[in-house]
Amino acid sequence: MSRLAIFDCDGTLVDGQASICESMEIAFAAGGLTAPDRHEIRRIVGLSLPQAVRLLAPDSDPDIQAHIVQAYKDAFRASREEGRLQEPLFDGMEALLLRLRDAGWRLAVATGKSDRGLTNCLASHGIIDLFVSLQTADRHPSKPHPAMLEAVLFEAAAQVEDAVMIGDTSFDMEMARAINMRAIGVDWGYHTAEELLAYGAEAVARNCEELGDMLL
């Protein structure tokens, strides 16, 4: 049975969509472009920032895309420094993490966030010490490339059959499928349950209690 649970962050551990959408709208305005609909912005959550911007502004000059990427970073950092950042844990998530830890599971994160963004997020909720490995887009190719999962397995000295990826997007499911890792979807994030199943989820949890029952 799997004993290493690897979580996505935005849309799985925390609900950061409000701040993500706001920062992306500011960034597009800084680049002189009309921002995409918020539904479209939510669809790319989980990808690395440069990859997300390329998908949201595919016809823009690379210099404009790079400007948007930097403007997004600036806007997101400003929201944190000004106390406007909204990244609440989903209901029941902290209890689930503690339940898994107490049952002997090791926990890790594989996310499109930056190192700084992930560290600040987890530290603000007092849960950073629960995780044995934190992998971000700063040091790896964007999802669905499996490099982050491979790094988690190396740091945790675990085999792929001992691990399970838990996420809310098709990117997470594809990433796990690329190395034949188990994948479980959650339906409180940014892609539908049907999409998660189509891209490789063995099941989709409706809430944190149900997710815990699937794992334990």
Taking only the tens place, the pLDDT of each residue in 82-131 is: 999 999 999 999 999 999 999 999 999 999 999 999 999 999 999 999 99
CATH label of the domain that carries residue 170? 3.40.50.1000
pLDDT digits (tens, 9 = 90+) for 117-149: 999 999 999 999 999 999 999 999 999 999 999
> Which of 63, 81, 99 is the last residue before a domain boundary?
81
Pair (73, 93) in one structural domain: no
> Would you state the structure tokens that stand for residue 3, as one six-digit string?
């004993």
> Which of 81, 111, 128 is the last residue before a domain boundary?
81
> Which of 28, 56, 81 is the last residue before a domain boundary?
81
> Range of 130's domain?
4-15+87-215
Residues 208, 189 contacting (CB under 8 angstroms): no
Pair (205, 105) in one structural domain: yes
- Is the peptide bond preceding residue 144 cis, with omega within 30 degrees of 0? yes
Return the amino acid letter for 118.
L
Return the amino acid letter for 209.
E
Please state the domain count of the chain: 2
CATH label of the domain that carries residue 61? 1.10.150
Residues present in the chain in total: 216
Pair (119, 100) in one structural domain: yes
